[in-house]
């Protein structure tokens, strides 16, 4: 789902230390804070789903020293998390070389090469991040639909971002379960009309679902996404599990009113992701 809820502002001031120019077919777009992201003009482009995933993950683990991002694409989730957690070391994995190249370019542009590594590979590989795991926070923005369930995007880079070409949400949850440090949290995003599928994937991977935050794009409309946070049940106090009534499901986060304006609650999320108060 593409939404411009985190776009539309250019931060004034000097360019960051790794500044570079977009090449043919690329654009350089605002992501969060003072950071920008390289994207293909006609390829896969980041959406509100990605930034919300990073925001929700950093709410759960605001001081995570080590973060992983699965199926990281052009780097939107990982970079937004790196901005929110300035002390964290990040490792990401992406199967498409063209997306990994853009992510590395954005990492350099934003001056975080010293703590951010983009790996090319398959998140289903059991040797993934060998020597780097475990992680305190694992993030994921899985493709939403099985192959054949939706029309394929015209640009080949965008197809695996929408359709399950290299794994399902179950593959993401199983990979996360292998990579989590004791007490670590796995956060991902998935459509509201597939909540049962996502919750089932957490259970199958042996993860206890802590919270489901539903997100509605516009008041009065049904479509939206849900943000999920889970961890290994053995890391939870037994009394907490018995009394908490997990997962906790707060009221939905509505992005826009029926008239198209940002809601006050979402304005606070935008503020937390680096937009100045006058533009929230």
3-state SS, one letter per residue, for the chain? CCCCCCCCCCCCCCCCCCCCCCCCCEEEEEEECCEEEEEECCCCCCCHHHHHHHHHHHHHCCCCCEEEEECCCCCHHHHHHHHHCCCCEEEEEECCHHHHHHHHHHHHHCCCCCCEEEEECCCCCCCCCCCCCCEEEEEECCCCECCCCCCCCCCHHHHHHHECCCCCHHHHHHHHHHHEEEEEEEEEEEEHHHHHHHHHHHHHCCCEEEEEEEEEEECCCCCEEEEEEEECHHHCCHHHHHHHCCCECCCCEEEECCCCCECHHHHHHHHHCCCCHHHC
231 pLDDT above the threshold of 60 = yes
Indicate whether 16 belongs to any domain.
no
Indicate whether 86 belongs to any domain.
yes
Indicate whether 228 belongs to any domain.
yes
280 pLDDT above the threshold of 50 = no
Average pLDDT in the chain: 88
Q: Which residue has the higher pLDDT, 110 or 167?
A: 110
- pLDDT (mean) for 79-104: 96
195 pLDDT tier (thresholds 50, 70, 90): very high
Indicate whether 11 belongs to any domain.
no
Indicate whether 265 belongs to any domain.
yes
Q: pLDDT at position 222, please?
A: 87
Q: Express each pLDDT in 139-150 by its tens digit.
A: 999 987 676 555
Indicate whether 280 belongs to any domain.
no
Indicate whether 14 belongs to any domain.
no
Indicate whether 12 belongs to any domain.
no
Can you give the pTM of this predicted structure? 0.89
- pLDDT (mean) for 23-28: 92
Q: Show the domain range for 53.
A: 26-275
Q: Express each pLDDT in 42-74 by its tens digit.
A: 888 999 999 999 999 999 999 999 999 999 999
- Count the domains in the chain: 1
């Amino acid at each position: 789902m593409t939404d411009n809820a985190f776009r539309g502002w250019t931060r004034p001031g000097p360019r960051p230390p790794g500044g570079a120019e977009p090449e043919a077919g690329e654009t350089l777009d605002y992501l969060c804070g003072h950071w920008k992201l390289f994207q293909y003009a006609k390829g896969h482009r980041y959406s509100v789903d990605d930034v919300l995933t990073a925001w929700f993950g950093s709410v759960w683990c605001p001081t995570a020293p080590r973060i992983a991002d699965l199926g990281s694409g052009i780097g939107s989730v990982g970079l937004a998390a790196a901005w929110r957690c300035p002390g964290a070391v990040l490792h990401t994995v992406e199967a498409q070389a063209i997306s990994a190249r853009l992510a590395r370019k954005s990492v350099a542009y934003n001056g975080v090469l010293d703590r951010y590594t983009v790996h090319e590979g398959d998140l289903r590989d059991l040797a993934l991040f060998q020597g780097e795991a475990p992680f305190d926070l694992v993030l994921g923005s899985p493709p939403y639909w099985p192959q054949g369930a939706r029309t394929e995007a015209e640009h080949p880079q965008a197809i695996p971002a929408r359709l399950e070409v290299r794994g399902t949400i179950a593959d993401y949850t199983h990979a996360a379960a292998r990579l989590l440090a004791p007490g670590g949290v796995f956060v991902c995003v998935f459509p509201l009309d597939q909540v049962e599928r996502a919750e089932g994937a957490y259970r199958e991977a042996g993860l206890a679902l802590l919270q489901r935050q539903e997100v509605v794009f516009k008041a009065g409309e049904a479509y939206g996404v849900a943000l999920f946070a889970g961890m290994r049940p053995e890391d939870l106090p037994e009394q907490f599990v018995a009394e908490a009534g997990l997962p906790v499901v707060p009221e939905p986060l509505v992005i826009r009113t029926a008239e198209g304006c940002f809601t006050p609650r979402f304005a606070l999320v935008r503020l937390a992701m680096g937009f100045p108060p006058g533009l929230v």
